[in-house]
Structure 1
Amino acid sequence: MPQRHSKNNNDLAFFTYDEKRKLGYGTQRQRLGKESIKPFHACCICLKPFIDPLCCPKGHLFCKECILHCLLAQKKDIKRKIASFAAQQKQDQEEELERQALLKEQELEAFERQNNGADPLFTGKNAMADKGSGFHGANSVRVTSYEEEALRTMKAFWLPSATPEAPERVDAPSTDTVCPEGKEKLKLKDLFPVCFTELSKESGENFLDPNFMCPCCNTTFTNTLTLAALKICGHVFCKKCVDNFLLKDNACTVCSRPCKLKHVVTLEKGGTGFAGHDEGLQASVFKHVGSGSGMGLTRPVIRT
């Protein structure tokens, strides 16, 4: 059966909805696969398997070298911003002093002209009108004409010499370093080392990626498990063992150090790539149809 004429009609002056969909117009969404998601044992900065891992209070894992380099770079940037803000404040103070000195000089000149020159004293109702009109007595003349004054003060965006310039203002910078992943305040003393229990390698097996397990139930860690670390000792357990054993006994099962609920930090994980697990696993991009966009060669994304 042939399609409707409305879908094959190509003599219109505008794109139909079906033509836009064939050209890839609008928001295209695609679910991310497992290879696009960070595993639990990867650093949040370099995205590689961590070395000497450190954890922030929100559960983000970093390599020790990566997070120290990041915090040091933030400190240098904050120092540079503070110096720029101080220079701006100093410049503002100097401009204010120059403006006050100029106003004082103008008042002195007006006083001298009034006492020693032919300028009359402005009194009465027409004083402000005479000042605004530029009249300073019968023998006085305008320094500049109206046209010259207008050209001098004119601001035009189409003339490079008359384009108005807006001064760049620097806001007062914050002196707090932030976590590169969660964007919350983070200090070096808030980081604590974590210790993963490696899976025992059997004979004949070669693990390319690091494999870790829960020291309590010997379950292999994957992205499907929710992991938790203890601030006091840094040992990492699965969330089920933390709820069933550690919080009831109030002690770590590895080093027997006392722990409480405030010492438990749930580690952040990337996800598994499955539709029913985690959030934010869908990437979207907006594309529009236009001349030279090349969208006619793009195949539309099949939405499921």
Structure 2
Amino acid sequence: MTRHGKNCTAGAVYTYYEKKKDTAVSGYGTQSLRLSKDAIKDFDCCCLSLQPCKDPVITPDGYIYEKEAILEYILHQKTEIAKKIKAYEKQKNAKKVEMAELAKAEKETKVKAFLEKESTIVSKPLNPFSSRAGEAQAGSSTKAIKQEEKDLPSFWIPSLTPEAKASTLSKPDKTIYCPMSGKPLKMKDLIPVNFLPVDDKLDRVQLITKQERYICAVTRDALGNSVPCAVLRPSGAVVTMECVEKLIKPDMLDPISEMRLTEKDIIPIQRGGTGFAGSGVKLEAKESRPVMQA
């Protein structure tokens, strides 16, 4: 489209270009953005704090956490569950008391109604032409009208004002779930991870500033987001998946602790992306905003 066509505003048709331009300026519609490598978590960073781990642990699903962060999360969840259980038990006990009071009131109502019926029974029939019968009939009709007026709802009389009932709480779930996978998580499921640094002489600050911080415990290859890695459960060593396929799986022995391995003992690490489309990670972020009608 020519520049004249883009800047033409005298047309009667709302063109696609004009709609796209107005959408970007006004803040309507869905906005898409491709994430770069700087916006993606490194493979050795905690999934909660997003910082390099000092004492890393891994879940059976392959998510790495800082031990302190994940324990604080589990403790916080247990505290919240305890609060919900306490509120649920309080509601349950209040409901029991309310049901008991209703049963007691219903019983008293039945007794009162029975006594009123008994009191109306007379041994001699009333003379309809006497003044007492007329007074009794008038009194009963007046009493019925007063009772009907009393039962009518009113927004101005405090005793008849309708009240909003509290929302009913459901029984809380006592299970703690992993914040990343959503599966049940227990403290005993956390496995310590032993990363092998590139240089043992470097302190923590110097190690964090390096781009390649850790190497494979067997092949000494550099680890990163572009290298699929796995953790061996018995020793906690981090090795590349290429090492697992070629060196470990034929014998199913841990090369560090020399213990027998099973398929569950080899835990692939859930890594972030590399900024390239072939990394196997969704790198496109979308923000849904109000839609502008044409």
> Under TM normalisation by the shorter chain, which class is it?
0.7 to 0.9
Change (3 A) 1:193 1:136: farther
* Contact 2:234–2:257 (Cα < 8 Å) also in 1: no
Give the Cα–Cα distance (whole angstroms) in 2 for the partners of residues 26 and 136 of structure 1: 72
Matches within 5 A, 1:1-304: 2-3=4-5, 8-9=9-10, 17-23=16-22, 24=24, 25-117=28-120, 137=140, 140-144=143-147, 149-152=151-154, 165-200=164-199, 207=207, 208-209=209-210, 211-288=213-290
Distance 1:235 1:52 in 2: 14
What is the CA–CA distance in structure 2 between the aligned matches of 1:81 and 1:10, rounded to whole Å? 62
C-alpha spacing 1:162/1:20, structure 2 compared with 1 (3 Å): farther
Aligned-residue identity in percent: 27
Q: CA RMSD in A?
A: 3.0
Long gaps (5+) in structure 1: 120-134, 155-160, 291-304
TM-score, structure 1 length as denominator?
Answer: 0.77
The amino acid across from 1:179 in the alignment is: C
CA displacement at 1:215 relative to structure 2: 1.9
**Structure 2 CA distance for aligned equivalents of residues 9 and 162 of structure 1:** 62
Q: Say whether the 8 Å CA contact 2:253–2:259 is kept in structure 1.
A: yes
- Larger fraction in helix: 2
Deviations along 1:232-266, one digit per CA (max 9) or x if unpaired, are 11111111111111111111222322212221111
**Paired residues, number:** 263
Counterpart residue type for residue 100 of structure 2: L
| Offset at residue 145 of structure 1 (A) | 5.2
8 Å CA contact retained: 1:118, 1:137: no
Unaligned runs of 5+ in 2: 123-137
CA contact (8 A) 1:199 1:213 kept: yes
CA separation of 1:138 and 1:168: change in aligned 2, threshold 3 A: closer
Query: Any idea what the Cα deviations from partners look like across 1:105-164, whole Å, max 9, x if unmatched?
Result: 111111111111379xxxxxxxxxxxxxxx995574322555x6444289xxxxxx9676
Divergent runs of 4+, >6 A: none
SS of the residue corresponding to residue 249 of structure 1 reads coil
The verdict on how the C-alpha distance between 1:44 and 1:138 changes in structure 2, with shifts beyond 3 A counting, is closer
Could you list the per-position Cα deviations for residues 36-59 of structure 1 after superposition, in whole angstroms to 9, with x for gaps in the alignment?
110011011111100111111101
